[in-house]
Chain A
Amino acid sequence: MNLPLLISLENVTIGYDRKELIDSINLSIEKGQFWGIVGPNGGGKTTLLKTILGLIPPVSGKVNHGEDKPLTFGYVPQREKFDHIFPISVSEFVAMGRYIRIPVGRGVKKEDWKVVMDSLERVEIPHLKNRPFRSLSGGEKQRSLIAHALAGEPDILILDEPTASMDIKGETAIMELLGRIKEKDELTVLMVSHFLNTVARFADHVAVVDKDSGIFGAGIKEEVFKGETLSSIFGLDVTIEHVAGKMRIYAAVGGRDK
């Protein structure tokens, strides 16, 4: 059954300041899918993400959003990008995610605040609504960021390194929260991550990106995550095993230099 197509990239070259990073990118994201975008540091993952979002224009090719209606993005950027000098409360921060539904010049109405509170409930932090955003722990901030994205009632949730700098407990909590939200709201999810095993566990589709080797591959996880492909990208001997029905990815000690 063909699901509605939310985003498609047709023969796209990504880059910035006219510098090409990777060309010939073809990608189709359908409703309900969970995509993981992986690759080495500086490989082009965030550039691809921002091209998909429309924040950076493609060097060439076409990026299409939504088949029959405009797409609403719920963007979850990296936690570190926000300036801590701003005295913004958690509820004010989450309300900003609602601004996609509020035109310029109009204030935040009562019904908008209701959606904001609902979003905080969904990520299980309503008790933090009046806390300064900058005072939150890493995990609390990540939940606030997800609530911020949900407040816009998005069609697709796009996350940039949501579990970076988190310990295993924090990472598991955030990913399980994401999984629950995705299932309950039938959301489409696109996630950039360094953690191959996290992506292997939660995503059903993956894209691998590496500008240095020029590799771009996208599709069903089992077809894209191959030892040879990942070894080539990361310059290590990468092995993929299936343990109790789950994919496990690890690199051999003493991998070769790229």
Chain B
Amino acid sequence: MDTSSFGEFIGSYFLWRDPMIVGAVSGAICGFLGVYVVLRRIVFVGAMLSQVSSFGVALAFYIGGFSAFSSLGSMIDPFALSLIMTALAALFFALKKDFFRISQEGAIGFGYLLASGAVVIIGNLITHEAHDIADILFGSAVVVDPKEVYIVPTVAFFCILIHSIFFKDFIFVSFDPETAQLFKYPVRVLNTVLLLTVGIVIAITTRALGALPVFGLTVLPPLTALFLTEKLKLVFMLSVLIGVLSAMLGYYFSFILSLPTGASITTCASLFFVLGIVWREVRILTIGLAR
């Protein structure tokens, strides 16, 4: 490793401290919630919610660009609109996922494509701050809004608090909803709260990092953790750790190699995934040889 690059990186602490905090916390919370997303086989819900979140931001900019709505536009906070739209999408999916009488994947695909198309169209219509659209989709995370340094960890904290109280319940309704229903557990309410926490976290982290890295951090660390262990609580811990490392290393490499930050984070998460596969195959081979 080039020590002068590393030294330069350390010396630029004032530049990367806030984005690194936001990135690490985002990696942790996305890694944690991503375990549910992967185990429940709703991987593309993460992508769909990321796109809906992006759509909310783009819509806020678009409305703000109309002179006729300039007073209204100035009141519409992109972050708030993104949060509201993502929460509504998560609620709709939780409560009405059989609404279209098609497969779950079909409903998710519809939501993802609709939101993605709408983001591109609105991005095309916005006359200024267009670079923000690219940042939203692909992530810059180079410089974060100062308020995100407080918002992201605060939301992550409350999310973890909810999950620590209801951990056994969320796992129960995810693994065996029929028995949970038989035991008079409020399955629908628990599923809704779970998906709402996913939606809210995706909304705030997408604003900070971008849709691509958030989707990547929601999927790849849990998948990697599932390769590494068969113990449920360890899956969660490893997923959080890999999420944090992916975000931090991704940011570091984007800094020293001048790469897009979002893509760098996603690539780091992908490399961890490949390492996870290699580890598992080597373990299977060594166990086989030992026998």
Q: A87-B230, A87-B235, A108-B168 are contacts. A82–B175 as well, Cβ < 8 Å?
A: yes
Q: A87-B231, A96-B176 are contacts. A55–B182 as well, Cβ < 8 Å?
A: yes
Is A66 engaged at the interface, CB distance under 8 Å to the other chain? Answer: no
Residues of B within 8 A of A107 (CB): 167-168
Q: Which B158-178 residues have C-beta < 8 A from chain A? A: 165-169, 172, 174-176, 178
With beta carbons under 8 angstroms apart, the residue of A85, A87, A102 that contacts B229 is A87
Q: In whole angstroms, what is the CA distance A96 to B167 when docked? A: 12
Determine if B41 and A85 form an interchain contact, defined as CB atoms under 8 angstroms apart: yes
- What string of 1s and 0s marks CB contacts (under 8 Å) between B205-235 and chain A? 0000000000000000000001001111001
Q: In whole angstroms, what is the CA distance A135 to B231 when docked? A: 13
**For the side of the interface on A, what is the size category?**
20 to 34
Q: In whole angstroms, what is the CA distance A70 to B278 when docked? A: 52
Q: How far is the CB of A80 from chain B (nearest CB, A)?
A: 13
Q: A99-B183, A99-B185, A104-B169 are contacts. A55–B41 as well, Cβ < 8 Å?
A: no
Residues of A within 8 A of B174 (CB): 86
Is A216 engaged at the interface, CB distance under 8 Å to the other chain? Answer: no
Determine if B186 and A104 form an interchain contact, defined as CB atoms under 8 angstroms apart: yes
**For the side of the interface on B, what is the size category?**
20 to 34
Q: In whole angstroms, what is the CA distance A116 to B41 when docked? A: 29
Determine if B41 and A75 form an interchain contact, defined as CB atoms under 8 angstroms apart: no
Residues of A within 8 A of B168 (CB): 99, 102, 107-108
Q: A55-B182, A73-B182, A88-B175 are contacts. A105–B231 as well, Cβ < 8 Å?
A: no
Is B12 engaged at the interface, CB distance under 8 Å to the other chain? Answer: no
Is B190 engaged at the interface, CB distance under 8 Å to the other chain? Answer: yes
Is A77 engaged at the interface, CB distance under 8 Å to the other chain? Answer: yes
Is B179 engaged at the interface, CB distance under 8 Å to the other chain? Answer: yes
Name, among B182, B231, B235, the residue most crowded by chain A CB atoms within 10 Å (CB to CB): B182
Determine if B182 and A54 form an interchain contact, defined as CB atoms under 8 angstroms apart: yes
Is A132 engaged at the interface, CB distance under 8 Å to the other chain? Answer: yes
Q: How far is the CB of A33 from chain B (nearest CB, A)?
A: 21
Q: In whole angstroms, what is the CA distance A81 to B176 when docked? A: 9
Is A100 engaged at the interface, CB distance under 8 Å to the other chain? Answer: yes
Residues of B within 8 A of A92 (CB): 232
- What string of 1s and 0s marks CB contacts (under 8 Å) between B183-212 and chain A? 101100010000000000000000000000
Is B39 engaged at the interface, CB distance under 8 Å to the other chain? Answer: yes
Q: Which A134-161 residues have C-beta < 8 A from chain B? A: 135, 152
Is B181 engaged at the interface, CB distance under 8 Å to the other chain? Answer: yes
Question: Closest 10 CB pairs between A and B?
Answer: A100-B183, A132-B230, A87-B230, A87-B232, A86-B175, A104-B169, A105-B165, A75-B182, A86-B39, A99-B183
10 further A-B contacts with Cβ under 8 Å, apart from A55-B181, A86-B39, A135-B230, are A75-B182, A77-B179, A85-B226, A87-B226, A87-B235, A88-B232, A89-B232, A96-B172, A99-B168, A102-B168
Residues of A bordering B, CB below 8 Å: 53-55, 73, 75, 77, 81-83, 85-89, 92, 96-97, 99-100, 102, 104-105, 107-108, 132, 135, 152
